Structure 1
Amino acid sequence: MSAHNQQIGARGEHVAAGWLRNHGMRVLATNWRCRAGEIDIVAQDGSTLVVVEVKTRTSTRFGSPAEAVAGVKLRRLRRLAAAFLAQCPSYFPAVRIDVIAVLLPPGGGALVRHLRSVG
């Protein structure tokens, strides 16, 4: 991944974390890693643990950012959620996977779309 794409991704994750906080969620971790991979954001929504995949794009030329999260990626996120829970000292009666799609058009503000319970 190019440095430019990494910067876009980091900006999108920053925007997404702010979005979650502004909507009453508590961000527990960002870029949480284990041997199986990485979770962009781990948050708490009431008593629910939320694993958040952030997808950021500068245009919709190749589709919306959220379209990039399906099948294999969702299965990996489920495994990562289990790995996080295994290491987490807190109890969460529910877990969900969300996607936050961030569109960063040139010269404009960020557009955020939050998709809840995608997998």
Structure 2
Amino acid sequence: MRKRADIVGRWGEEKATLYLMEQGYQILCQNYWTKHGEIDIIAQHGNTIIFVEVKTRRSLAYGSGIEAITRKKLQRIRKAATHYLTSSATFYNDIRLDMIDIFISKEGTRSTYRVKHIQHIDS
């Protein structure tokens, strides 16, 4: 049986993918795995390749999504991104690390969510 957090995380990744597509991004890959870790979404916008980490929260009890991106997590994303780039024959003018923070809130019996796209999380 899958953990509830896994289900919420996958749901958030689906919403993030739809959001990026609505913004004109082309999705190249989802859940790219390497020995260094996973990249949730790899997208292209113009001649820029974007590696996207998605964090979905139902509560701020453990902090916001951006607070969960530690220096160690950034290092793993960079290593996985390097792995992807070295195995790709495509040249990109620019490379970017982004984060999509999805917060689910409950209003009465109805749940709503907010999407926050943070560009250049490694800057």
For residue 108 of structure 1, give the secondary structure of its aligned residue in structure 2: strand
> Distance between the aligned counterparts of 1:62 and 1:34, measured in 2?
27
Where in structure 2 are there 5+ consecutive unaligned residues?
Answer: none
Which shifted more, 98-107 or 37-46? Answer: 98-107
Aligned-residue CA RMSD in angstroms?
1.2
Q: Distance in 1 between the 2:19 and 2:41 partners? A: 12
Deviation at residue 18 of structure 1 after TM alignment: 0.6
Cα offset, 1:62, TM superposition: 2.3
Match of 1:111 in 2: 114
Report the TM-score when normalising by structure 1. 0.93
Specify the alignment match of 1:91 in structure 2.
Answer: 91
Of the two, which has the highest radius of gyration?
Answer: 2
Runs of 4+ residues deviating >3 angstroms:
none
Alignment of 1:21-40 (within 5 A): 21-40=21-40
- Aligned equivalents of 2:90 and 2:117: distance in 1? 25
Offset at 1:92?
0.9
**Structure with more strand by fraction:** 2
How many pairs align? 118
**Residue deviations 1:54-98 (CA, integer Å, cap 9, x gap):** 001111222211210121111111111110001112111211100
Q: Who is 2:76 aligned against? A: 76
